[in-house]
Structure 1
């Protein structure tokens, strides 16, 4: 077959993808990324609102259980589906005047947004964290001389969680916890402005359960302090139910 008989070579140029076609995978990737981010934000907000929330510890009132700078995760199932018990470590909103004298960390708008959706620990600017010593109906008392507290007439040994060298209480008091409230104290008693310092206020120093955000159940940060916060139930094992 001569060159003249050969089929003419094709000079057709391959079809080029339109700019819209080239953008297709990129647009799809961006769309999926946005959906994933929005889903993560919504999920984080739902978890923070209904299940658990992280908090930052700003003060020394809970030494050595919790130190300044610790991050804790708080379950919002108690109060709610679950009850609050003696020995629980709880986070609660300021009942009024408890934080007047306490310096609180400042945050910017970006940090406030992260806190709102649950991606950053609450800075505790209007919350406190203490241990529940008495629940509704309990009679909690101290002679103020370093002797053990009594709950419903039974002395309790708090050495399991009190800060080294801390006295059970240097303030004398004798209270009955009102209905719908809890009596709270810090583990570092001599550095904790807790229920004892609000005896003359409405509620007699007790905190309304409605102000309780939840119970702290795990330390998240720093790494060398990660661990569960267990309720020392044996401390109150012999305490009878309130009359």
Structure 2
């Protein structure tokens, strides 16, 4: 009995020819490494100073190339802390030229109360600070957990050149 069979392909490859899956895997690895090095970096939050918005030990994604427009009040930023020199996550509440104060736990920027829906004002009742003016090319940052945060109230405003990136997520 004669059975027609398809011709067998030779499993051997020509010298120097790589299987496409290996090439694709290497390209994917290089792309992911480039994204991690120059574009987006995951960071683990070490403290509870941003709770409840960002829980301690959670991971955030930081966008490294950012514009000044992204560093606006309400933005979460990562910068090198003046105390300890470690990457630190805080919320921008004012930018250069603005005046910041806290009166009985209410944040005032340029004399106007700011809405802060994530802040539990009952935990920080009786807190007073300032007023201080934020220098140009600086930002004033606060932790959402005001009672447990070391922030611009302690070490002053942060120069824009100390910023590492803005938080994309959460």
Contact 2:40–2:61 at 8 Å: present in 1 too? yes
Counterparts of 1:169 and 1:209 in 2: how far apart (Å)? 31
Shift of 1:85: 0.8
In structure 2, the residue corresponding to 1:178 is in which secondary structure? coil
Match of 1:28 among 1, 18, 28: 18
CA 1:164 to 1:69, structure 2 compared with 1: closer, same or farther past 3 Å?
A: farther
Return the structure number with greater strand share: 2
CA deviation vs aligned residue, 1:104-136 (integer Å, no higher than 9, x gap)? xxxxxxxxxxxxxxxxxxxxxx20000000101
Aligned residue runs from structure 1 range 1-243, under 5 A: 24=13, 28-29=18-19, 32-33=21-22, 35-79=23-67, 82-94=69-81, 96=82, 98-99=83-84, 126-143=86-103, 146-158=104-116, 160-163=117-120, 165-167=122-124, 170-198=127-155, 205-219=156-170
Relative distance call for 1:140 and 1:53 in structure 2 (3 A) is same
Distance in 2 (CA, whole Å) between partners of 1:73 and 1:168 is 32
CA distance in 2, matches of 1:207, 1:189: 17
Deviation string for 1:56-105 (max 9, x for gaps)? 1111000100111211112234335x4311011111122x3x237xxxxx
TM-score (norm 1): 0.58
May I ask how many residue pairs the two structures share in their alignment? 160
Q: Which runs of 5+ in 1 are unaligned?
A: 1-20, 101-125, 199-204, 220-243
Q: Are the equivalent residues in 2 in contact too, given 1:58–1:69 (CA < 8 A)?
A: yes
Give, in angstroms, the shift of residue 186 of structure 1: 0.3
Question: Is the 2:70–2:166 contact (alpha carbons within 8 Å) kept by the matching residues of 1?
Answer: no
TM-score when normalising by structure 2: 0.79
- C-alpha distance in structure 2 between counterparts of 1:168 and 1:38, whole Å: 56
| Counterpart-to-counterpart distance in 1, 2:67 and 2:147 | 28
Q: Confirm or deny: 8 A CA contact 1:136 1:181 kept in the other structure.
A: yes
Displacement of 1:182: 0.3
SS at match of 1:47: helix
Quick check: which has more Rg, 1 or 2?
1
Cα shift at 1:190: 0.6
The secondary structure found in structure 2 opposite 1:24 is: coil
